[in-house]
C-alpha cells in the first residue's frame, strides 16, 4: 500500500491529531514473569500488551484447543454428531508416558463425541485427542495435517503441529499470538465455552477417570483445581485451558470481562512447582496481573469519528463537478486505550489503495485506510471511504450511454439486417440503372440509323446525289426567290434536324402502348441484358 500523497487530507488530520508526537503518557507495564505473553481486546482485536508474542515455543496441552475446534467444526458441518458413539482405536494411547494426563480410556471402549470433548478440555486426556482425530479424519496423521491447514487459514505464522495433544515432540510449536488466534475462533462455539467454564464433570461411564469427577485445572475459575492452594479464583475470568510440560513451562489461556471490556490473555513459559520448585503457579498470577492492569488503566475511547471527514483526494479523472472525493472513516474507531491518553499521543497514518482514481465512484467505496499508532505501536485500522458519489462527466456519460445502446444484441442484429437488405436493394437499383442506360443508348443508335435511311431516301427522291451539294441549292433551284428569304426556309442541315425530330416523335408514339409499357418489338432484350 502506498502512502496517501494528498495535502488536504494530511492537513485535516493534523488538525485533529499531532503526528509523530512523542508519547506524553508513561503507563507502567504489568509485572509478570512469563517468557511470552499477549493480552488482546477481543472487541477491537487490538493488542493491549505483548511480550515475545511471536516467539515459537512448545504449547503443551494448549494444543488441545485446536483439536476441540476441529471436532466442533465437523459437528457444525454435519460431518459428525455429539451423540454418536465412537470406539477407541487400538493405537489411541500410542506415545503416552505413564505420567501423561489421561481419562483412563482404553482401546475398544465406546464414548460419545461430547464425552470425549469433556475429557479433552477438562481432564486434558491425551488419548481422547487421538480418538477424536481418528473419527474426524480417519487417522491421527491426517488429522494433524488438518490442524496445520486450519492454523494457516486462521493466520498463524509461527505454528506447526506434529501431534493432537501437545506431548513433547520435535518441531511441535506455536506462539502466544497464534494461540490467541486459535482460541478466538474456538470461543465462537458455545459448547466450547460451556465446557471450558465447567468447574467439575462426572462421566456416566464408571471407567472414565476411575469414576471420579474431572476437575477443571484452571484455578482462575475452579476453587477445587489441584493448582489452587493459593486461591487464584478471579471473579471476572472464564476458561480456557491450562498446559504444562518441562519444555513449555506452565501455560494458561483465559478470558475475562469487566465493565464492557472483553480480554483474552495468553501466558507461556511460567514458573511453578515442577520446573522451579516454588509453591506459586505464575501462570495464574501473571494472568491476574494482566487483567487488573488493563481494567485499572484502560477505557474505550473514540479515536476516529465516522461523521467527521478526514480530507479529500486529488482531482479524479473524468469526474464531474468538483472532481474530488471527500474521505471519511467507514465507522467509528473505539479503542481500549490508557485513560490518561491525550489526542497529542495519537498518530493517524492514512494511505490510499491507489494513487490515481477514476470516476464514477459510489458513496461508501473503500479508497484507503487509516492506521492508529500510539508510541509506535499499532492499535487499529479503519477503512477510508468516499462520503458521496463522484459522478462521471456529462460528455462521458452520454458516450457511455450511446455505447451501451449500440451494444445491445437486438440492435446489432437489426442494423445488420438493414445493412444487408439496403445493400442488396442498392445493388439491384444500380444494376437496373445500368440496364436502362444501355437500353436508351441502343434505342438512340437505332433511331439515328433510321433517320439516316430516311435522309437517303429523300435525297434519292429529290435527285440529290452529290453529298457536297447543299440541300438549299437543290430545293431552291428553278424557283423565284425575289420574295423569299432563304434564311427563313433554312438549310438542308436544319431540315434534317426537323426530320429527325418528327421521326423521334413518331417512334416515341409507336413504342409505348396506352398502358405505358414499352412495346419496341424490334429490340433484342437478351442483348440488352448482356
Residue 333, pLDDT score: 79
Q: Would you state the pLDDT for residue 191? A: 97
CA distances from 259 to 236, 263, 271, 299, 405 (A): 10, 11, 31, 9, 60
Specify the pLDDT at position 24.
42
- Return the number of other C-beta atoms located less than 10 Å from residue 349's C-beta: 18
420 Cβ contact list (under 8 Å, min separation 6):
none
* DSSP 8-state symbol, 208: G
- Residue 461 is predicted with a pLDDT of 82
Tens-of-pLDDT digits for all 530 residues of the chain? Answer: 333 434 344 333 333 333 333 334 568 899 999 999 999 999 988 899 999 999 999 999 999 999 999 999 999 999 999 999 999 999 999 888 867 899 999 999 999 999 999 999 999 999 999 999 999 999 999 999 999 999 999 999 999 999 999 999 999 999 999 999 999 999 999 999 999 999 999 998 999 999 999 999 999 999 999 998 889 999 999 989 999 999 999 999 999 999 999 999 999 999 999 999 999 999 999 999 999 999 999 999 888 877 777 666 656 655 555 566 777 788 887 888 888 888 778 887 877 777 667 667 777 788 878 888 887 877 777 888 876 766 665 555 455 565 676 778 887 888 889 899 888 888 888 888 888 888 888 888 888 888 888 888 888 888 765 555 444 444 444 444 444 454 544 455 555 566 566 555 555 544 444 454 554 444 444 444 44
The answer to whether 509 and 415 are in contact (CB under 8 A) is: no
pLDDT at 4: 40
Separation of alpha carbons 512 and 424, rounded Å? 30
**How far, in Å, CA of 147 to CA of 160, rounded?**
9
pLDDT for 69 equals: 98
Contacts of 459 (CB under 8 A, 6+ apart): 465
Peptide bond into 360 cis (omega under 30): yes
478 to 465, 472, 474, 475, 481: CA distances (angstroms): 18, 12, 9, 9, 9
Closest CA to 359 of 399, 313, 402, 320: 320
Q: What's the 3-state SS for 241-293?
A: EEEEECCCEEEEEEEEEECCEEEEEEEEEECCHHHHCCCCCHHHHHHHHHHHH
- Closest Cα partner for 282 from 9, 36, 22, 115? 36
The kind and range of the H/E element at 3 are strand 2-3
Contacts of 192 (CB under 8 A, 6+ apart): 68, 69, 72, 121, 186
Task: Supply the pLDDT for residue 484.
Answer: 46
CA dihedral 444, 445, 450, 454 (to 10 degrees): 90
Amino acid at each position: 500500500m502506498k502512502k496517501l500523497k494528498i495535502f488536504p487530507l494530511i492537513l485535516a488530520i493534523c488538525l485533529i491529531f499531532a503526528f509523530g508526537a512523542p508519547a506524553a503518557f508513561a503507563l507502567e507495564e504489568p509485572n509478570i514473569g512469563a517468557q511470552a505473553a499477549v493480552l488482546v481486546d477481543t472487541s477491537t482485536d487490538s493488542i493491549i500488551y505483548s511480550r515475545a508474542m511471536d516467539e515459537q515455543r512448545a504449547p503443551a496441552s494448549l494444543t488441545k484447543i485446536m483439536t476441540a475446534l476441529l471436532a466442533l467444526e465437523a459437528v457444525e458441518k454435519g460431518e459428525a454428531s455429539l451423540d454418536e458413539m465412537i470406539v477407541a482405536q487400538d493405537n489411541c494411547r500410542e506415545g503416552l508416558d505413564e505420567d501423561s494426563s489421561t481419562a483412563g480410556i482404553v482401546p475398544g471402549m465406546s464414548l460419545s463425541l461430547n464425552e470425549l470433548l469433556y475429557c479433552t478440555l477438562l481432564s486434558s486426556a491425551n488419548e481422547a485427542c487421538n480418538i477424536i482425530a481418528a473419527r474426524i479424519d480417519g487417522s491421527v496423521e491426517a488429522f494433524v495435517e488438518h490442524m496445520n491447514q486450519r492454523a494457516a487459514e486462521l493466520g498463524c505464522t509461527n505454528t506447526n503441529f506434529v501431534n493432537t495433544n501437545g506431548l513433547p515432540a520435535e518441531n511441535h510449536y506455536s506462539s502466544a499470538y497464534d494461540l490467541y488466534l486459535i482460541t478466538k475462533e474456538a470461543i465462537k462455539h458455545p459448547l466450547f465455552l460451556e465446557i471450558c467454564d465447567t468447574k467439575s464433570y462426572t462421566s456416566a461411564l464408571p471407567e472414565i477417570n476411575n469414576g471420579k469427577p474431572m476437575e477443571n485445572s484452571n484455578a482462575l475459575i475452579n476453587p477445587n483445581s489441584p493448582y489452587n492452594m493459593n486461591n487464584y479464583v478471579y471473579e471476572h475470568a472464564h476458561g480456557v485451558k491450562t498446559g504444562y510440560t518441562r519444555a513449555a513451562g506452565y501455560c494458561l489461556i483465559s478470558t475475562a470481562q469487566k465493565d464492557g471490556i472483553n480480554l483474552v490473555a495468553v501466558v507461556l513459559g511460567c514458573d511453578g512447582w515442577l520446573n522451579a520448585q516454588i509453591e506459586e503457579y505464575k501462570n495464574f498470577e501473571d494472568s491476574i496481573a494482566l487483567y487488573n492492569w488493563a481494567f485499572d488503566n484502560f477505557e474505550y475511547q473514540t479515536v476516529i469519528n465516522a461523521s467527521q471527514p478526514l480530507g479529500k483526494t486529488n482531482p479524479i479523472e473524468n469526474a464531474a463537478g468538483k472532481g474530488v472525493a471527500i474521505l471519511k472513516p467507514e465507522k467509528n474507531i473505539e479503542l481500549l486505550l490508557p485513560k490518561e491518553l491525550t489526542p497529542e499521543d495519537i498518530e493517524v497514518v492514512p494511505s490510499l489503495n491507489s494513487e490515481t482514481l477514476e470516476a464514477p465512484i459510489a458513496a461508501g467505496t473503500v479508497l484507503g485506510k487509516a492506521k492508529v499508532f500510539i508510541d509506535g505501536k499499532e492499535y487499529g485500522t479503519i477503512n477510508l471511504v468516499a462520503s458521496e458519489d463522484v459522478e462521471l462527466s456529462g460528455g462521458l456519460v452520454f458516450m457511455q450511454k450511446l455505447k451501451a445502446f449500440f451494444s445491445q444484441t437486438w440492435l446489432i442484429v437489426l442494423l445488420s439486417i438493414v445493412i444487408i437488405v439496403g445493400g442488396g436493394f442498392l445493388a439491384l437499383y444500380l444494376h437496373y440503372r445500368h440496364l436502362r442506360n444501355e437500353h436508351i443508348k441502343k434505342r438512340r443508335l437505332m433511331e439515328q440509323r433510321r433517320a439516316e435511311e430516311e435522309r437517303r431516301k429523300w435525297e434519292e427522291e429529290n435527285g440529290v446525289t452529290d453529298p457536297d451539294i447543299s440541300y438549299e441549292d437543290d430545293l431552291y433551284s428553278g424557283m423565284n426567290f425575289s420574295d423569299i428569304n432563304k434564311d427563313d426556309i433554312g438549310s438542308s442541315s436544319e431540315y434534317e434536324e426537323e426530320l429527325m425530330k418528327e421521326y423521334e416523335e413518331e417512334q416515341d408514339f409507336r413504342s409505348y402502348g396506352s398502358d405505358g409499357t414499352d412495346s419496341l418489338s424490334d429490340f433484342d432484350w437478351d442483348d440488352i441484358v448482356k
